[in-house]
Amino acid sequence: MFTPCGVRKVIVAESDPIMGNMRDGLFFGDFVRLHILYHATKKPISGLEIVAELERHGYRLRPGKVCSVLQALEQSGYLTGRFVAVGGKRRKYYEATGKGRQVMRVAKTRLHELAAGLLKPLPDLSQSGGGNQSKRCLEECCDSGESDLQ
């Protein structure tokens, strides 16, 4: 059985302790939309391929959720979709529109600015022995202990 956007209905376990609790997209919803838009700027991509690609990056979203994101991006004019017969079945492929490509260019610039502000170069952890020492080192490198949210 397929959803309206051509994604096969399969329940994907949301076992990741953080991603599984972020179903409302409070923090990661924009990452998902940008990820989808990025791939749609490269080549036409089906909902099923998007589900697999997102899962490869740790986003375990149900196909119905991905379908609703695709529909919202399409209705907002960032994607355009067309049905294609694949192996005797209808599959919808999405491609970024001019508006979607423009938003992706702006988003890349803003992501670079954000990453530069949030991330510091990580030390070589290969000699650290792993475990808590690696975690402590990572925390020290990525968080100066100061808050910009005062």
| Residue range 46-87, pLDDT digits in tens | 999 999 999 998 888 888 889 999 999 999 999 999 999 989
Global pTM value: 0.64
Specify whether 133 is located in the same domain as 88. Answer: no
CA dist 56 and 139 (Å) reads 25
Quick one: pLDDT at residue 98?
Answer: 97
Specify whether 105 is located in the same domain as 138. Answer: no
Give the structural domain span for 128.
123-150
Structure tokens of 69?
């994101």
Specify whether 45 is located in the same domain as 74. Answer: yes
Specify whether 113 is located in the same domain as 127. Answer: no
Q: What is the CATH number of the domain that holds 83?
A: 1.10.10.10
Q: Could you tell me which residues are beta bridge partners of residue 84? A: 91
Instruction: Find, among 56, 16, 24, the residue nearest to 39 by Cα.
Output: 56
CA dist 62 and 3 (Å) reads 11
Burial class (CB in 10 A: 0-12, 13-18, 19+), 98: exposed
Which regions of 12-146 does DSSP assign to beta strands (E)?
45-46, 79-86, 89-96
Quick one: pLDDT at residue 60?
Answer: 83
The answer to whether residue 12 sits within a structural domain is no
Alpha carbon of 92 to those of 20, 97, 142, 144: distances in Å?
27, 15, 41, 46
